[in-house]
Amino acid sequence: MAKVWYTEDHEWLSVENGIATVGITDYAQEQLGDIVFVEAPEVGKQVTKGDTAVVIESVKAASDVYAPVDGEIVEANDALTADPALVNSAATSNGWLWKMKLADESQLTGLLDEAGYLKHIG
Amino acid sequence: MGETQDLKFLPLDDVHKAAGAKFGGFAGWNMPLTYPAGVMKEHLFTREHAGLFDISHMKLFVVSGIGAAAMLSKTCPIDAAALTLHQSKLSFFLNDEAGILDDLIVTRLGDDRFMVVCNAGNAEADEAHMRDVGRHFNVVIEPLDRVFLALQGPDAAAVLVDAGIGDSGLLFMTGVEPRENWFMSRSGYTGEDGFEIGLPEKDARDLVAKLTADERVMWIGLAARDSLRLEAGLCLHGSDIDPSTDPAMAALLWAIPKDLRETGTFIGADALRAKIAAGAREKRVGLKPEGRQPVRGGAPIVDENGANVGRVTSGGFGPSAGHPVAMGYVATALAKPGAGKLFAEVRGQRIPIEVSPLPFTPHRYVKG
């Protein structure tokens, strides 16, 4: 059973067997507005917590999405190439951004659980 | 989106809050950026029906007096005395080097009475400039406190008729004072047919209530105003034109009568003549990025050898065009479609970008 974590930067991570699926929260997609392009991350790339992993372009502006933990990008969501608006319509499911292999699962303990995230966005 | 503490609030701020607007700072004002429908739907709705915009951040000035036409013909490259009654004209305030201090619309309302509509961010400087030049003319410059609304889109005229306002017989780029303290012109910033109406707050609240009760009307925020004007190929001062650009390089000489380019005595005339004679080194063009990724203002433009040949000044996604749209400046030799391979640099990548005719979506003005 996957466990879901959140960051203060409005990302979610669903972790199962050392692989995290990462996306942005519904709150975040609503703030960004209509998303028209998602710059796919490079599969195989090592990222460090805080690195820009993906850039999301809305009609209005470009926004960075940061790696929430250290690890290796193992998959990008190819469906977003044809339909970037999936991030708006299904931010926490089919609109996921990338999957990454965690370098250090203990980093997860510094993240928020759902209750903590809901409190964060108030 | 900027500091919120020192921002000015629109007179109808409460109406926008009630409509669910998200706000952001623009030119010193707390402006509705989007409403719950979102920028994409707002943009498309405007092109299909009628979008209602609160543009009260823009400034209206009445310039009147027996020296009014002469003064405006000094500050702007126009022959204000040759404007017919009710005629509107896009023009500029230029500095002595022909740099564009602001773009504005001048409308003739009477023999000695004109309306000048300026951009929000330049309103104070524009007023100071007019007062400075105005010292030499018999003229009164009166800034107006008005709510300023724009209704844009193919249903705009019918909506105004049903709201009891009518179109006052206006055609594109004409303006009148249909009621006391009202100013109404058939113009806009979307490429669509539409109207701009300046009016007292109380009247505005009544009109807004009528308009928003019409299902052909939707509030439209600043985000869609920007994507609409960009598709229409219209310049944003501060981005696409500014004091470092002149009307020649900005491809806006069409707004300056030919005889004035040659013999005019407006401020900046000599510098503009010299620039036209020398030929612009770079020109403003439409730019179409390849693929789906928007290219934003500020991105450098390079040729296939990586040499810098220009810059993007505005860019985003065009909801009606269905692809990213942009405008910017490129070296004159490259400033026509197919003249050379160009790339915009975005986050270390080179995105192919081609010079494209403007507008990206056809203008649908009602010219009679």
CATH of the domain at B356: 2.40.30.110
Interface probe with A: pick from B292, B296, B325, most Cβ of A within 10 Å: B292
| Residue B129 pLDDT exceeds 50 | yes
Q: Are B33 and A34 a contacting pair at CB < 8 A?
A: no
**Could you tell me the pLDDT band of residue B350, with boundaries at 50, 70 and 90?**
very high
Q: Are B292 and A33 a contacting pair at CB < 8 A?
A: no
Residues of chain A positioned with their CB less than 8 A from the CB of B323:
none
Question: How large is the average pLDDT for residues B347-351?
Answer: 92
**CA of A57, closest CA in chain B: separation in Å?**
7
Is B141 a member of any domain?
Answer: no
Question: How large is the average pLDDT for residues B43-69?
Answer: 98
Minimal-distance CA residue of chain B relative to A60: B223
Question: How large is the average pLDDT for residues B93-121?
Answer: 98
Is B209 a member of any domain?
Answer: yes
A67-89 tens-digit pLDDT: 999 999 999 999 999 999 999 99
- Of B204, B231, B258, the position where a domain reaches its end is B231
Count of domains for chain B: 2
| Residue B93 pLDDT exceeds 50 | yes
Is B35 a member of any domain?
Answer: yes
Q: Are B293 and A59 a contacting pair at CB < 8 A?
A: no
Q: CB distance from A103 to chain B under 8 Å?
A: no
Please tell me the predicted confidence (pLDDT) of residue A2.
82
* Residue ranges in chain A modelled with pLDDT below 70: 1
B66-84 tens-digit pLDDT: 999 999 999 999 999 999 9
Count of domains for chain A: 1
B250-283 tens-digit pLDDT: 999 999 999 999 999 999 999 999 999 999 999 9
- Of B231, B264, B293, the position where a domain reaches its end is B231
Is B96 a member of any domain?
Answer: no
**Could you tell me the pLDDT band of residue B2, with boundaries at 50, 70 and 90?**
very low
Question: How large is the average pLDDT for residues B241-245?
Answer: 98
Q: Are A60 and B296 a contacting pair at CB < 8 A?
A: no
Question: How large is the average pLDDT for residues B48-77?
Answer: 98
Question: What domain range includes position B13?
Answer: 8-56+146-231
Q: Are B293 and A60 a contacting pair at CB < 8 A?
A: no
| Residue B1 pLDDT exceeds 50 | no
Is A11 a member of any domain?
Answer: yes
Is B272 a member of any domain?
Answer: no
Is B270 a member of any domain?
Answer: no
Q: Are A39 and B347 a contacting pair at CB < 8 A?
A: yes
Mean pLDDT score of chain B: 96
Is B191 a member of any domain?
Answer: yes
Q: CB distance from A29 to chain B under 8 Å?
A: no
**CA of A59, closest CA in chain B: separation in Å?**
5
Q: What are the DSSP calls for B75-121, one per residue?
A: HSSS-GGGSPTTBEEEEEEE-TT--EEEEEEEEEEETTEEEEEE-GG
**Could you tell me the pLDDT band of residue B4, with boundaries at 50, 70 and 90?**
low
Report the percentage of chain B scoring pLDDT > 70.
Answer: 99
Question: What domain range includes position A99?
Answer: 3-113
- What CATH number has the domain bearing residue A109? 2.40.50.100
* Residues B46 and B152 both lie in one domain: yes
Per the structure block, which two tokens stand in for B250? 């900005």
Is A81 a member of any domain?
Answer: yes
B287-297 tens-digit pLDDT: 999 999 999 99
B145-161 tens-digit pLDDT: 999 999 999 999 999 99
**CA of B223, closest CA in chain A: separation in Å?**
6
* Residues B156 and B52 both lie in one domain: yes
Q: Are A59 and B33 a contacting pair at CB < 8 A?
A: no
Instruction: Report in angstroms the alpha-carbon separations of B107 from A46, B1, B80.
Output: 61, 33, 9
* Residues B223 and B355 both lie in one domain: no
Residue B271 and residue B97 in contact, taking contact as beta carbons nearer than 8 Å: yes
Is A90 a member of any domain?
Answer: yes
Q: Which of B335, B338, B275 is nearest to B301 (CA)?
A: B335
Is A118 a member of any domain?
Answer: no
Query: What number is the ipTM of this complex?
Result: 0.85
Is B161 a member of any domain?
Answer: yes
* Residues B296 and B166 both lie in one domain: no
**Residues near A11 by beta carbon (within 8 Å), at least 6 away in sequence:** A22, A23, A24, A25, A28, A65, A66, A68
- What CATH number has the domain bearing residue B211? 3.30.1360.120
